[in-house]
Amino acid sequence: ELGKVSFVCFYCFSLFLLFLKLENKTKGKPQKQICQVVLDHFEKQYTTELGHTWTSVRDVLTYPLCWQYAILLNKFSQSSELENTLGVKGYHPAFQGPLPYLPALLKCYIRRTPGRFPAQKHQAGKLKEYYLLNAASLLPVLALEVKDGEDVLDLCAAPGGKSIAILQCAYPGQFHCNEYDDLRSRWLKQTIESFIPYPLINLITVSKLDGRQIGDLKPELYEKVLVDAPCSNDRSWLFSSDIQQATLRLMQRKELPSLQFQLLRSAIKALRPGGSLVYSTCTLSRAENSDVINLILNSCSNVMPVDISEMARAVSQEFTFLSGMQQHELLVLPEKGRAWGPMYVAKLKKM
């Protein structure tokens, strides 16, 4: 009898452990801890800059269980079975409004409920069918409006999601993807290899140049330039596991606007007259967003702002935007049920 009881107890305990394991799996990454030093820093800055809006944004950023993930389909490895599966799981196509630019082959699926679709592993010689990303990451690509045959520069391209999205939209004449950081550059190459087939991949140049120097090295070479600048990555910084690293980041944060300004000035030099540039970050910080763009507009007489308010209106069902922005810029604010962003986007044109 005692043997039976102990067996039943052991069996129940095993089931309990299995339940915990499954529960943890469904909860994503329960071990994520908020980095208090970063939260305190953000609390101070964003309460001033965003007012009461910061409270609801903070609630999303500090609670990964309500985060959502979009699924960008790879047109070079199409699967009708995948689209059916997404439909069954409650996903629907994003960007259904009357957008000024929406290529038919750019397919992105989202759903209101949180959770993450399983990622595909990198396999040499095999193309992936989809890319997981924050849906707001596609807004800079939609604002850039790349057309077939145009020469395009993605100045700070790693990890490669926006480069992949550009290639879903059009076939550039030349596509230059640059990433200065060595580790991130390897990541970028792997992403491109996972999504882009031969011979198209031969049109893509991957370089490791200092983005601040590209304008001098390749003056007036591109019709479209994307500057997805290094920034305070609010979402990931809040979960820094190394407090010393987090403190150092916060100290060095003051230097980012200067770097962003230099990257933008280099990008403007690399643009042909009449060409367009999109600047984006994944931070809420005004110093890295509007302030940098205003500084460029005030110091470069050969660039002008481009109105992107029509695009913002067309996607306002899917995204929440900070009010009071100028017509050439937008800032996506995460909120429950629409937990996309932060994402700042601004568009400029070279005269």
pLDDT by residue (tens digit) across 172-225? 999 999 999 999 999 999 999 999 999 999 999 999 999 999 999 999 999 999
pLDDT value at 139 more than 90: yes
Helix (H) or strand (E) run with residue 215 in it: helix 214-217
First and final C-alpha spacing in the chain: 89
Cis omega (within 30 of 0) on the bond before 140?
no
Q: Average pLDDT, whole number, for the chain?
A: 92
In the chain, count H helices and then E strands: 13, 12
pLDDT value at 12 more than 60: no
Q: What are the CA-CA distances from residue 196 to residues 74, 157, 163 (Å)?
A: 9, 15, 10
Q: Is 157 annotated as a binding residue?
A: yes
Q: What is the pLDDT of residues 319-337, one digit of tens each?
A: 999 999 999 999 999 999 9
Q: How far apart are CA 209 and CA 211, in angstroms?
A: 6
Q: Is 307 annotated as a binding residue?
A: no
pLDDT value at 299 more than 60: yes
Going by pLDDT thresholds of 50, 70 and 90, the confidence category of residue 124 is confident
Predicted confidence at residue 255, as pLDDT, reads 98
The more confidently predicted of residues 31 and 322 is 322
Tokens of 18: 């299995």
Residue entry with tokens 């984006």? 280
Share of the chain above pLDDT 90, in %: 87
pLDDT value at 2 more than 60: no
User: Which residues carry out catalysis?
Assistant: 282
Is the C-alpha dihedral spanning 201, 203, 207, 212 positive or negative? Answer: negative
Predicted confidence at residue 4, as pLDDT, reads 37
Q: Is 162 annotated as a binding residue?
A: yes
Going by pLDDT thresholds of 50, 70 and 90, the confidence category of residue 30 is low
| Mean of pLDDT values over 89-101 | 94
Q: Is 255 annotated as a binding residue?
A: no
Q: How far apart are CA 31 and CA 316, in angstroms?
A: 34
Predicted confidence at residue 125, as pLDDT, reads 85
Predicted confidence at residue 32, as pLDDT, reads 83
Phi/psi for 82 (5° steps) reads -60, -45
Q: How far apart are CA 319 and CA 337, in angstroms?
A: 10
Q: Is 160 annotated as a binding residue?
A: yes
pLDDT value at 19 more than 70: no
Q: What is the pLDDT of residues 41-57, one digit of tens each?
A: 999 999 999 999 999 99
Helix (H) or strand (E) run with residue 177 in it: strand 175-178
Cα 162 → chain centroid: 7
Q: 108-110 and 303-305: which strand pairing?
A: unpaired
| Mean of pLDDT values over 296-315 | 98
Residue 121: DSSP 8-state: P
Q: Is 154 annotated as a binding residue?
A: no
Predicted confidence at residue 8, as pLDDT, reads 37
Q: What is the pLDDT of residues 234-290, one digit of tens each?
A: 999 999 999 999 999 999 999 999 999 999 999 999 999 999 999 999 999 999 999
Predicted confidence at residue 65, as pLDDT, reads 95
Amino acid at 241: S
pLDDT value at 25 more than 50: no
Share of the chain above pLDDT 70, in %: 91
Q: Is 104 annotated as a binding residue?
A: no
Q: Is 170 annotated as a binding residue?
A: no
pLDDT value at 29 more than 50: no
